[in-house]
Amino acid sequence: MFNSKDKRFSPSPPLSLSVILKYFPHPSLSCKALMGKTEEVKAILPAELRNMEEEEEEENNNNNSNKKLSEKLVNDPESLETVSKDYGNLVHDVPLAVFRPSSVYDIMKLVKVSYKRSVPFRIAARGQGHSTRGQAMARDGVVLEMAGLRKSEFIRVSVDPYNYYADVGGEQLWIDVLKKTVNDYGLAPLSWTDYLYLTVGGTLSNAGISGQTFRYGPQISIVRELDVVTGKGEFVTCSPETNSELFHAVLGGFGQFGIITRARIALAPAPKRVKWVRLLYNDFSAFTKDQEQLISIDGKKQNFALDYLEGMLLMHQGPVNNWRSSFFPLADHPRIISQVTKHSILYCLEVAKYYDGQNENNVDKELQALLQGLSYIPGFYYEKDVSYVEFLNRVRSGELKLQSQGLWDVPHPWLNLFIPKSQIMDFDSGVFKNIILKRNITTGPVLVYPMNRNR
């Protein structure tokens, strides 16, 4: 959320990586209190919106809708309820209205209205609402629903072999980017988030970190150009060479420096299949040592380097067959449970190696060479061979499973942290063992994996 009058757009100090920002609680405004108050809601923008309607008549060629801007503001209880919660389901802030644009022009006009007021109103761009602490909410302001722009697919691919890229609307979902680029062109971005039902603008505003980051960098590192609506309502195209200060501020800027309406994303030939492996450890030191060894292999110099690496905890408080660990065969669950019972925590190293027709005869040999000498528990090696798309969309099956159990929309008090290598052992003993285990705290997924600073 940003205040369009603040020329600096200084973000709140982050409490953690990506989406957890400083939050100051205040009394909640009930949706019921706003029922039937359409005129009161629109009074926050009255004269300005009425004056804009004449401008709109002259700008019809730039506006994809015959609706006036004021008619794109809604405040019915259902709409307000939807944007007053997010995936975290911990913060519930009700805006005065929801704005549903049909073009980038609409977004520019809305932000300009706020900027020109002596007391600007808050505007928060909302993609999928997958933040966890109310970052896409706008108490007493306007929530900008980016999904309205998704009605027209904005994913355009350049197939110049010397310059593969996709121009993608900020409102588009990564799963649709995957399907379009892979299925139609055999191309794909190199860096992804674990969960793909998120908007392009949303993840690029946070960083886009996952198990590919150690090799390919976060998602913001594969962006070549952006279209941004600034806090003044201006439309600016920026890149590392043009308007570079804005470009670098918006990427990973938590939405404080502008609204991403288009991103030019670098593409590369997509692999066909993935060797997907999980290894179990009972010793955290060995687990992290092996992780660090594997990410130290320079994939650009050594083609057989891994393409993905993450890690997770298996704890006695949670079932082995949870949404992250259904990977393991049912026949092995008793063996794994026995190890969890014995050690209280197991550490799961998860890696992947991509391949296609050119290297399918060597991929097994390359993978075994990479994993040779690792210190996992003997006999606890698990491997799958899946399509590239299936691997990237792996969290979806877990989502559907939790939805069927009514568990997808429960509160998610999630936290993402960067821990220095020098303190990771202290984190294991101090947090995992002396807090979570000792207090018998039930946990969701706990992911632990290293990244290279130079990415």
Helix (H) or strand (E) holding 113: helix 104-116
C-alpha dist (Å) from residue 34 to 25, 77, 144, 257: 20, 7, 18, 30
Residue 172 burial (CB < 10 Å; 0-12/13-18/19+)?
buried
Task: Please choose, from the candidates 345, 357, 233, the residue with its C-alpha nearest in 3D space to the C-alpha of residue 282.
Answer: 345
Contacts for 248 with CB less than 8 Å, ≥ 6 apart: 240
One-letter amino acid at 73 equals L
Name the pairing type of β-strands 345-355 and 273-281: antiparallel
Overall average pLDDT of the 286-312 stretch: 87
Q: Active-site residue among 290, 307, 310, 366?
A: 310
310 is catalytic: yes
Q: Active-site residue among 86, 106, 194, 290?
A: 194
241 is catalytic: no
One-letter amino acid at 246 equals L
Overall average pLDDT of the 294-322 stretch: 80
- Select the more confidently predicted residue: 14 or 60: 60
Half-sphere exposure of 121 (CA within 13 A, CB side): 26
Overall average pLDDT of the 35-52 stretch: 48
227 is catalytic: no
Cβ pair 339, 282 in contact under 8 A: yes
Q: What is the pLDDT of residue 206?
A: 93
Produce one character per residue of 195-221: b if its CB has 16 or more CB atoms within 10 Å, e if not.
bbebbbbbbbbbbbbbbbbbbbbbbbb
Least confident of 15-19, 148-152, 177-181, 358-362: 15-19
Helix (H) or strand (E) holding 41: helix 38-42
- For residue 434, pLDDT over 50 is answered with yes
How many percent of the chain have pLDDT more than 70? 82
Produce one character per residue of 15-50: b if its CB has 16 or more CB atoms within 10 Å, e if not.
eeebbbbeeeeeeebebeebeeeeeebbebbeebbe
Q: What is the pLDDT of residue 435?
A: 93
The per-residue pLDDT for range 252-265, each reduced to its tens digit, is 999 999 999 999 99
What is the chain's mean pLDDT, rounded? Answer: 85
The DSSP 8-state label assigned to residue 173 in this structure reads: B
**What pTM, to 2 d.p., does this model score?**
0.86
The per-residue pLDDT for range 340-386, each reduced to its tens digit, is 999 999 999 999 999 998 888 999 999 999 999 999 999 999 999 99
Task: Please choose, from the candidates 209, 298, 226, the residue with its C-alpha nearest in 3D space to the C-alpha of residue 261.
Answer: 226
Q: What is the pLDDT of residue 153?
A: 73
Residue 148 burial (CB < 10 Å; 0-12/13-18/19+)?
middle
Q: Ranked by mean pLDDT, which of 12-26, 223-237, 288-302, 406-420 comes out on top?
A: 223-237
Least confident of 81-90, 366-375, 443-452: 443-452
Q: What is the pLDDT of residue 319?
A: 64
The DSSP 8-state label assigned to residue 422 in this structure reads: G
- For residue 299, pLDDT over 70 is answered with no
Produce one character per residue of 230-254: b if its CB has 16 or more CB atoms within 10 Å, e if not.
bbbbeebebeeeebeebbebbbbbb
Q: Active-site residue among 56, 106, 130, 428?
A: 130
Dist. CA 369–CA 380, nearest whole Å: 18
